[in-house]
Amino acid sequence: MTIKQQLMDMLTARNDEMIAIRRHLHENPELSFEEQQTAQYIADFYENKGVTIHRNVGNGYGIIVEIQGRHPGPVIGIRADFDALPIEEETDVPFKSKNPGVMHACGHDGHTAYLLILADCLIQLKDELQGTVKIIHQHAEEKPPGGAKSMMASGLLDDCEVIVGAHLFPTFKVGHIGYRAGAAMAGRSFFKLVVHGTGGHGSSPHLANDAIVAASNFVTTVQTVISRRLNPYDMGVVTIGSFDGKGTFNVIKDAVTLEGDVRYMNDDVQTTIEQEIKRLANGLEVQFGVTCALTYEKDYPPLVNDEDLTSFVVKTLKASEQEEIISIEEAPLFSGSEDFAYYALAKPSTFYYIGCQPTYLDVPYMNHHPKFDIDERALLVAAKAGAEVIATYCLK
C-alpha cells in the first residue's frame, strides 16, 4: 500500500469523528474576532502531538500549526477559517446553534473539522513527508479587515511556496469540486453616506430641505455608475443595503444615512466606482443644497488564483482514484468576496469549491442564509481533495 493510500484510508476511518467535530463547532459558533473558545478547542486538539503551534497569530485568534517532515522539501500552506455569522439559525438540526443570534451559516465549521482530521493524519505520517505542511486556522474571515492579511503579515508563512484553500458551496452536489484559474471572486468595498438637509414640518417643505429626497436621488443615480461608467465587459455591482430614513409621517428629515456594498473583479473597476461615487456625493450637494459626509473603505481585494498552481491542483484531483471525488468542474466567476485573496496576493495560491448540496433540497439555501445546511459527506471529499494535493507535493 502506498503512503498516499494509507492517508486516504485513515481519513475514511475517521469520517465519523470529522462529522462529530463539525457538529460540536456548529453548536458553539463565535463571531469574527471573538472566537476565543473555538481557537482554544483547535489549539487543544494539537497538544502533545509533536508539532509547533503558533497561537494568536495576526490581529486575532489565528493559529498556525507546522508539520515538519523528516525529509527536506517544499513548504505548502493549507487554510481553513473558523468564525461564524451574526444570524439567528432557522434549521431543524439536532446540533443547532446554542448561541442566540450566531450561526455557522457559511460552512466554516466544516472547513475546520476536515482540516483538523487531515492535519492529524498527516502528523501521524510526518516521517514520510518531504518538506513542511503549514496548517492555517484563520479567524475572522467574515468581518473586515479579516484575519488573512494579518496572518500573512506575521512572517510565519513567508517560506510557503504555495497556499491552498477550499470552501463548501451548495451550488455543487457532493463529490463535485469547482475551480477557476485567474480571477475567481470579487473584491469588496463599503461606503457610508450621511446626507444632511434641514428638518421641518411636512406641511411646509419650502421652509426645509428634505434629506430623504436628496438621498433617494443618490440611490437611483448611483446605478448609472455601473450602466454608464464601466466598460460593458467589466463586472461591477453597487448595492444600497441600508437606507436609514425612518421618522414621523409629517416631519421632514434633516439627515439620512445610506450604507452600500461595492463588488468588482479588478482594481481599475474599483477605482472608477470609488471616484464616481465621490463625484455623485459632491454633485448631490450642488443639486440639492445639502451637505454630504462620505466614508469609503476598501475591504477585500479580488481573489485571483494562480494559473499554474490551479492547473496542478486540477490535474491532481482529476487523477484521483478516490470514489468520493466524482468530478472536477470549472466554476463561473463568483461575485462574493473572500479574504483568502490576501494569501493569493503574497504567494501562488488557489481556492477551490467543495460541493455540499443537501440531498433533501432541490434548491439549496445558500451560504449566509439562516437555513443554510450541508451534506456532511462533503467533509470527507474536502479532506481527500486536500490530501491529494499535499500528497502530490510532499509525500515520498
Measured distance CA(195)–CA(214) in Å, rounded: 8
Measured distance CA(222)–CA(278) in Å, rounded: 10
Please give the C-alpha separations between residue 178 and each of 107, 116, 310, 332, in angstroms, as whole numbers. Answer: 16, 22, 11, 9
List, in order, residues 6 or more apart from 198 with CB less than 8 Å away.
Answer: 208, 209, 252, 254
Residues marked as catalytic: 83, 141
Do 383 and 322 form a contact (C-beta atoms < 8 A)? no
Q: Say which DSSP state 126 is in.
A: G
71-81/162-169 β-pairing: parallel
At residue 94, the 3 state secondary structure works out as coil
Total number of residues shown for the chain: 396
Closest among 284, 282, 261, 285 to 273, alpha carbons compared: 261
Do 275 and 245 form a contact (C-beta atoms < 8 A)? no
Do 138 and 80 form a contact (C-beta atoms < 8 A)? yes
Measured distance CA(60)–CA(138) in Å, rounded: 9
Measured distance CA(179)–CA(307) in Å, rounded: 11
Measured distance CA(79)–CA(312) in Å, rounded: 18
Closest among 136, 162, 151 to 310, alpha carbons compared: 162
Please give the C-alpha separations between residue 205 and each of 195, 201, 287, in angstroms, as whole numbers. Answer: 17, 7, 16
List, in order, residues 6 or more apart from 2 with CB less than 8 Å away.
Answer: none
DSSP strands (E only) in 271-375: 291-300, 303-305, 327-330, 349-355
